[in-house]
Each structure stands twice: as structure tokens, then as C-alpha cells.
Amino acid sequence: MDSNSNITDKTRQGIKWSFGLQIFHKIFFFFSSIILARLLIPEDYGLTMMAFTIDILVWLIMALGINTAIIHFQDEVEKRLNAAFWLLLVSAVFFTGLQFLCAPLFAAFYKAPLLENIIKVSAIGLFINSFGIVHKTILVKNIDFKRIAVLDASVSILKSILSITMAFSGFGVWSFIYPKVVGSIINVVCLQFLSKWRPSLDISVKHIKEMLNYGKYVVFSNIIDYLINNSSYIVIGSLIGSFSLGIYSFAYEKSMMIVNNITYPLMMVFLPTYSQLQHQENLLKNAFIKTLQLISMFTFPYVFLQLILGQEYIIGVFGKKWESSVFIFQIILIYSMFRSVSQCGSPILQAIGRPDIALKWNILYAPLFIFSAYITAKHFDIYTMALVCMLIGLIGSLLFIIIVIQALNWSIKEVFGSLAPVFLSSLIMGLYIALFKPIMTEFCSDKLTILVTCAGLGLTIYFACIYCFFRSFYMLIIENLSKLIKKKPLTQV
């Protein structure tokens, strides 16, 4: 088997395990989130989101882009791993210690005294997780996603069980925080066992400098991307309060569910694949287009269905107390569809050694997005802010993916044209459901029944459209699913 076939087979198996366990895990997570939404109140979600936005920022800075550098560089791997481990340990001590010390300042900024202790406990979980960064990156670099998928799903399920148990016991917001720390401990112990790699004191200053030089573009781009994605949380939390932040963050989480559970896991699979194909342009383009098609096959129909059935989904599944989040949920859904596509741009830029392009774009885009979020939250309300942020995010996502395509000297028409079958089939499905739903509501008032019936009918129409009007694309899906199940290697990606 040649190297390209081996990469393809490992990538396909990575997708298989990531998707298989993601489906099982997310079904479990979905039902646990229903229970938590009915047990907890918006303020609990708001406080948790305040703490998590701080955690994410600290994690991005603390990682220094080193994990991406490990995947990108293909030479002197052992020396790079040692340098990365000790560098990350020093970084973790400094930044999580700084988070712990600054906890009172964050609590004062949000005017939420309880937040101080929440941030301190969360910092402990981050520090523990830092011991597993290199070990997990080794598995990613080797495209060993079977072990990663099993571990991630197991830890997440355990955390969900602990959260539900604590919520039933009246722990409130701590039902989200303590399971996070417990999960960190289990995660690191398992990663140490799975990767088999152990650090030594053979620390290369040369490799530290090389990885920092590469990682600086990744970390700064990630920080700016963080500010774009979390500025709305920060603004709402500081200007409006934990209740409104709870409503907004709940809607955002549900609307971005398909992006977080499909796009991000796939990006983790494809980054090492892109890196290994970085000098083979045709294979790289083919892999990129197939990634877009695979992601859009899930995200586009989900968005069109939820735009029409959003009220039935939110109220029928999570309860009437979340009714005020429906409009925000539907607005952000539109943005999530475009973001699912644009999100593919960053890993391919990182793979070819051009993370600076993403950084430059984010430097231009971030001020406009953050300023708009601040102005609309200060002078209007969270609904207006959601609408404005959606429009800016939609335009920004399209421009970024166009920039990526042009940087690679590929055809914009060819790349976007590859998404036409899924988009048109989703649009037709949406029109049918929009006509059918009012008819059904005349005979049934139960929102869950309407949701299940319309969703089932919609997906049937969606796949029928692909089969009838885009037969070649349908056969491509069947062919790849067949090869995925049979573990049959291909000669192309």
C-alpha cells in the first residue's frame, strides 16, 4: 500500500470512529442537556458561560499554538515533542496561576461575586489538562482517532452523568464546574496510558524557537477568533447580566450544535491529513472539497429544518421557559451554516504553513464584529445584537473562505459548485416543510409531535431530492459510505 493510500485509509477510519462515537455520545449528551435545561435556570447557564469564556481564552494562550506546530512539522519528531512538553508545562503554570489570581477582577467585571470561586476551580481543571496536550497531539498526528474518539466520548458521558446527578442534588451552577475538573483528571491519566510517550530532559532550544515562530500565528489568530466568537458573551454578561447571557448562550449553543459536533471533530481529523498532503496539490484540493461536501451534507439540512421548526424544537424539547431564546436560535442558525464551511479554511492554511493569512484576516474582521456587538447590546437588546452579528458573521465567513481559495489558486466556482447539490436539496426540503407545517398544526397542537413528523418528512424529501436530481452526488455518498464501512483503502483522498 503506498503512502497516499495509507493516509486515505487512516483518514477514513478516523472519520468512521469520530462520527460513530460522536453520534452515540451526542445522542446521550442531547438527552442529558434536556434534563439539565429543565433542572437549572438561565442564571446558571449565564455564570457557566462567563467562566468558560475565560477558560477558553486562557487555554488558547497557554497552548501557544504548539499542538498545531507538532502536527505541521514532519521532521525530528521526538525532539519537538520533548521541547513542546516542557514549554507547555511552564506556560500552564504561568497562565493558570494568572487566571487564579485574576479571578476577583473577573468577578468584579461581571458583577457576579460567585464567579470568583467558579473561575478558580476551573483553573485547576485547565492546569491538569495541560499535561495531556502533547499526548493527545501525538494521537492526532498519527491519525489515531479511534482511541481519541473512545476517550472523548467516555469522558464526556461521565461528565454528563455527574452533571445530572449534581443538578438533581441541588448544586446549581456547580453541576457544570466540578464534573469538568473530574473529567480533566480522567482524561490526562488515560492519554498518558494511550500514547505510551514519555518526556525526557533532552530539550532543544532550536526546536522551541521553530515551533514558537510557527505557533505565534496560530495562537494570535485563535485569540482574535475567540474574541469574535465570544465578544457577544462578554458584552451581554457585563452590560445586561447573567439571565440574558443565559438565554443567549443557550440559543447559541443549540444553533451551533451541528458546527461544534460535526465541523470541529472533522477539522481535527483532516488537519494531519492536510499536513501530510501539503505538497500534493491535486490530492489536497480533492480532500478539501470532499470535506466541504461532507460537512454541508449534515449542516445545510439541519439549518433549513430548524429555521422552520425552531419553536417546536426549543419549547417542545427543552421547555417553555426557554421560549425567549427561539428567535436568537433561528437567527444564529443562518450564521452557523456559513461558518461550518468557512471553518474549513483555517486547518488547510495551517497545514500548508500559512497560518498568517488567517491571522491577518481576523485582525481586519474582529474590530468590526466586536464593535457591532457592543453598540447593539448597549443601545438595543440581545435580539438586535443577534441579528447584526449574524449578518456580519455571514459576510465575514464568505469572504474568508474566498480568500483561502484564492490563496491556494483554486477555482472559486469549482469549490462552491461542489456544494450545490446539498444546498438545493435542503432548500427544496425547507419549502415543502414550510408548506406542510401549517396544515399539520390544524390537526395537532403538540409541538413534539409536529417536530418529529416534520423532521422525518423533511429528511425523506432531502435524500429523495439528492437521489432524483443529483444522482452522481448520491452515488458518491453511497460509494464513500461503503468504503468507510468496509475499511477498503482508496488510491485517492
Distance CA 319, CA 157 (A): 23
Which pLDDT value is given to residue 120? 92
Question: What is the per-residue pLDDT for 349?
Answer: 81
Q: Give the pLDDT score at 185.
A: 92
Number of domains in the chain: 1
Q: What is the mean pLDDT of residues 179-208?
A: 82
Calculated CA dihedral for residues 107, 51, 137, 145, nearest 10 degrees: 180
pLDDT digits (tens, 9 = 90+) for 141-156: 776 667 777 788 788 8
Predicted pLDDT of residue 380: 78
Dihedral sign computed on CA atoms, order 175, 178, 181, 184: negative
Report the pLDDT value the prediction gives residue 460, as an integer from 0 to 100: 92
**89 part of a folded domain:** yes
Cell reading at 163: 452533571
193 is a domain residue: yes
Contacts 24+ apart (CB under 8 A), 231-236: 231/369, 231/370, 231/373, 231/374, 232/373, 232/377, 232/385, 232/386, 232/389, 233/49, 233/50, 233/53, 234/53, 235/373, 235/374, 235/377, 235/378, 235/385, 236/377, 236/382, 236/385
Q: Is the pLDDT reported for residue 483 higher than 60?
A: no
Chain centroid to Cα 397, Å, comes to: 15
Question: pLDDT for 163-191, tens place per residue?
Answer: 889 888 888 888 888 998 998 899 888 88
Number of DSSP helices (H) and strands (E) in the chain, helices first: 21, 0
Q: Average pLDDT over the chain, rounded to whole?
A: 79
Q: Is the pLDDT reported for residue 486 higher than 60? A: no
Q: What pLDDT, in 10s, does the model give residues 288-342?
A: 888 888 888 888 888 899 889 988 888 888 878 788 888 888 888 888 888 888 8
Encode pLDDT of 384-417 as tens digits. 888 888 888 888 889 998 998 888 888 888 888 8
Task: State the residue for C-alpha cell 434536556.
Answer: 34
Mean pLDDT of 79-86: 80
Binning pLDDT at 50, 70 and 90, where does residue 74 land?
A: low
* Position 491 in a domain: no
Domain-located, residue 204:
yes
Burial level of 272, CB count in 10 A (0-12/13-18/19+)?
A: buried
DSSP label at residue 316: I
Judge contact between 129 and 191, C-beta under 8 A.
no
- Decide if 226 contacts 59 (C-beta within 8 A): no
29-51 confidence digits (pLDDT tens)? 667 777 887 777 777 877 887 88
Among 90-94, 134-138, 303-307, 439-443, the range scoring the smallest mean pLDDT is 134-138
Range of the domain at 469: 3-486
Give SS3 for 301: helix
Q: Which helix (H) or strand (E) holds 491?
A: none
Quick one: pLDDT band at residue 488, thresholds 50, 70, 90? very low
pLDDT of residue 266: 66
**Percentage above 90 pLDDT, the chain:** 8
pLDDT (0 to 100) of residue 487: 47
Whether residue 493 is contained in a domain is answered as no
Task: Find out whether 258 and 88 touch, Cβ atoms under 8 Å.
Answer: no
Greater pLDDT, 212 or 272: 212
Per residue in 359-378, pLDDT (tens digit) is 788 888 888 888 888 888 77
pLDDT of residue 492: 36
Decide: 331 and 390 in contact? Cβ < 8 Å. yes
